[in-house]
Structure 1
Amino acid sequence: MTGTKIFITSLRNEGFAFLLFLGVWSIISIFYPVYVIPSPLAVISAFPGFLPDEFLHHLTVTACRIGVGFGVSFFVGSFIGILAFARKWEAPVNALMAALNILPGMILGVIFLLIFGIGHLTPIALVLFLTLPTLTINTINNLSKRDVTLEQYLVSLGAKQKHILRYLYLPALVPTLLSNLSIGMGLAIKVVLMGEFIGSQDGIGYLLNAARIYFNMKEVFFYLILLLVFTLIYQGILTLLANTVLRKYFYAG
């Protein structure tokens, strides 16, 4: 299967889930007034009248915060996980990250708001602290699932460390990093919106809060559609990479 076909197949699968969501949403909207749960058709027909004048600015700000926060979290979390695995620190690092993972996001948001004030740092810090434990644990657990028998076999054949890294650890690391990209991005989007909701004067989370205050549910549901479409395309791109450029690093391939 060519890369284009794989990408189209992935988008088709994601698109089916998206259409299913729209179908369920449409059915639920029948039982509620439009000012509570507007139908997808009502949201689309009213677009773009409900959007603020500086919508693109808010969208850009949110995208930058997600990029910075998730980027730092991805590299730091993956590095800590790899280091813990290499040094055999899996148990203590997993325990530490599990403890950090239960910290309530709302409480952290209030703390960061008091420390950093309203602005960029609060949502970025939230992304870092709330996604880092998950990415670290995921990295350690996936690397721990390596084929020990294959490692012993390579050692018995006199394989050097570079061969073990190439044929054993790298094929385990690449899927792990892709998994981190998938899991982490979903968490990062949710956390940034929460951070903007709590302590920001711009961004999509801020617009969501403003729309909630004024009970503009069409705007609220539009932002939901926007995030779902972005997720659809993002997951499709990751699937394309996994099945084309990086396919050789997957044992199933």
Structure 2
Amino acid sequence: MKWIHKYGASFCLIILLLVFWEIGAELLDLGFILPTPTDVIVKIWGLKEPLFLEHLPATFLIIIVGLSLSIFFGVGMAIWMSVSRTVEKTLYPLIISSQTIPIIALAPIFVLWFGYSIWSKVVVTILITFFPITVNTYDGLKATSKEYKEMLLTMGASKKDIFFKLQIPGCVPYFLSGLKVAVTLSVIGAAIGEWIGAQAGLGYFSRRMMTQFDGAGVFAPIVILSLVGIGLFLIVTLIEKNILKWRKTD
């Protein structure tokens, strides 16, 4: 009952939008541009083997590799900036500037550099996902209470003790918030990379269906990508609730 009370309104709105979509698409009768939700579901079911056994694993591998490298480099960069003012002044503007360049414009360059291998898509995913992880983790490390630091120093704590026992636990909520944003963006990054140049993957399949003017075929992998993003977000949310049990939630 608690779940229904919390998400019932959103669920009803989604159902209502799908009904309007179904009716509107039927009235317009432009299946190659705007297929009905039932057409998309039928397409997914009819193509379930290539979609789920070939293209979904290829996309999921890009997401996992890209996210893992983003976490590694993002957290490392955040820690480096938090301990060095010079590094912060040098890297922080570059990190901000990296987000002003359209990724869709860089993706073809990565294809030229790395070919149609997985790494051209992984680099696109990293560029999209490392920013929220880096910035949120850095903000968490810098948000440590000065009063707590001074208290630990008076008790004889070293800088190492303060870092591992105060700053790291304090930045975990910030890191997880950034990760929730990153996991959804990772799906977009993987799809963009596959759309530009790939031999397998949901983004590649959507582009291939577009060249065949198959509207339902274009929407089918998009629906799966959306469900993957939602699933990853829920996983991080579940991890957050288990790690941060002390934090009050509604």
Same fold flag (TM > 0.5): yes
Matched, 1:205 2:203: yes
Normalized against structure 1, the TM-score is what? 0.82
Q: RMSD value over aligned CA atoms?
A: 2.9
Matched, 1:58 2:55: yes
Q: Relative to total residues, which structure has the larger helix share, 1 or 2? A: 2
Matched, 1:76 2:69: no
1:101/1:47 CA distance change after superposition, 3 Å: closer
CA deviation after TM superposition for structure 1 residue 16, in Å: 6.1
Query: What residue in structure 1 maps to residue 215 of structure 2?
Result: 217
Query: What residue in structure 1 maps to residue 174 of structure 2?
Result: 176
- Give aligned-pair identity as a percent: 26
- Output one character per residue of 1:223-249: Cα deviation in whole Å (capped at 9) or x when no partner: 23322322333222222222224435x
CA deviation after TM superposition for structure 1 residue 189, in Å: 0.8
Query: What residue in structure 1 maps to residue 149 of structure 2?
Result: 151
Matches of 2:211 and 2:161, distance apart in 1: 59
CA deviation after TM superposition for structure 1 residue 112, in Å: 1.0
Query: What residue in structure 1 maps to residue 134 of structure 2?
Result: 136
1:191/1:22 CA distance change after superposition, 3 Å: farther
CA deviation after TM superposition for structure 1 residue 53, in Å: 5.1
For the residue of structure 2 that corresponds to 1:244, the secondary structure is helix
Query: What residue in structure 2 maps to residue 48 of structure 1?
Result: 45
User: In the alignment, which of 108, 111, 114 is matched to residue 110 of structure 1?
Assistant: 108
Q: What is the total number of aligned residue pairs between the two structures?
A: 243
For the residue of structure 1 that corresponds to 2:45, the secondary structure is coil
Matches of 1:152 and 1:110, distance apart in 2: 51
1:34/1:151 CA distance change after superposition, 3 Å: farther
CA deviation after TM superposition for structure 1 residue 185, in Å: 1.3
CA contact (8 A) 1:192 1:205 kept: yes
Gaps of 5+ in 2: none
Query: What residue in structure 1 maps to residue 17 of structure 2?
Result: 24
1:53/1:170 CA distance change after superposition, 3 Å: closer
CA contact (8 A) 1:105 1:126 kept: yes
